[in-house]
Amino acid sequence: MTGELSPIDKAKFVAAKRAAEFVEDGMRVGLGTGSTAAWLVRCLGEKVREEGMRFRGVPTSTRTAELAREVGIEVITLDEARWLDITIDGADEFDAELNLIKGGGGALLQEKIVATASDQMVVIADAAKEVGSLGAFPLPVEVIPFGWTASQALIEEALVSMDVMGRKTTLRMDGDKAYVTDEGNHILDLHLSRIGNPRELALVLNQVPGVVENGLFIDICDRVVIGYGDGRVETRDINAGTVEEETMDFVESDNLFRDV
């Protein structure tokens, strides 16, 4: 129940609940990956069960697909949808221009493809995810397994000329083995501390042979919904230049919270 949730989980929940209101009957919806996105999927599942809402969801990972099916959401592929009305996802960091770092959950490639194949992207996050400049959270870069050490060396060489504070790179691990993405790739985490020019860095990284995609989402996010532990929600629209604040009610629901 919500009374048992930590303040951070309450913040994620109210952000997800508010963002779920952007979804309408008949839409094709990109469903993000991660702890905050999981709250969204649960909120949307409740709308399906309790309100009879019908829409089709395109998950950005196998675990999101499993959760969506579990709560009653119709799941289709991006190829079947072709184009999406909206994608709602979390973020590891966002700045004042709504540039993002994503990929902490390892799904950055599918997340970026789905987000850019949408009319609009909405990010849901707790207030701690907002930063003055990106980079405190390690930047994920997805690389193919073949020659990943060469790709790592080229990335480290490229970082020398970039406006960043740190240049350490590490291979993401899953226990004693390299982490493997849904596409069968590895992830290098770049510990940069601060990224002075995210746009330039994103372009440079994607020129490195072996790099599939990086976790910098530049000019992709349209709105961010920020949740707070006391139930307050702030919605910023980068295109309209508006900021709206409201308070969401906590709703006790055995279905929604049963696995939390």
**Is 104 annotated among the ligand-binding residues?**
yes
**Tokens at residue 100, please?**
């993002």
Helices (H) and strands (E) in the chain, counts: 8, 17
**Is 89 annotated among the ligand-binding residues?**
yes
The secondary structure of 129-191 as a DSSP string is GB-SSS-SSPEEEEE-STTHHHHHHHHHHHHTTSSBS--EEEE-EETTEE---TTS-EEEEEE
**Is 36 annotated among the ligand-binding residues?**
yes
140 close to 104: Cβ distance less than 8 angstroms: yes
- Rounded to 10 degrees, the C-alpha dihedral 5/8/11/15 comes to -110
**Is 92 annotated among the ligand-binding residues?**
yes
**Is 196 annotated among the ligand-binding residues?**
no
**Is 33 annotated among the ligand-binding residues?**
yes
Q: Which of 50, 51, 74, 111 is catalytic?
A: 111
**Is 153 annotated among the ligand-binding residues?**
no
Q: Is 70 a catalytic residue?
A: no
**Is 215 annotated among the ligand-binding residues?**
no
**Is 32 annotated among the ligand-binding residues?**
no
Q: How far is CA 17 from CA 23, 109, 227, 233, 236, in A?
A: 11, 25, 10, 10, 16
Which positions are annotated as active-site residues?
111
Binding residue numbers for substrate: 33-36, 89-92, 102-105, 129
Binding-site residue numbers are 33-36, 89-92, 102-105, 129
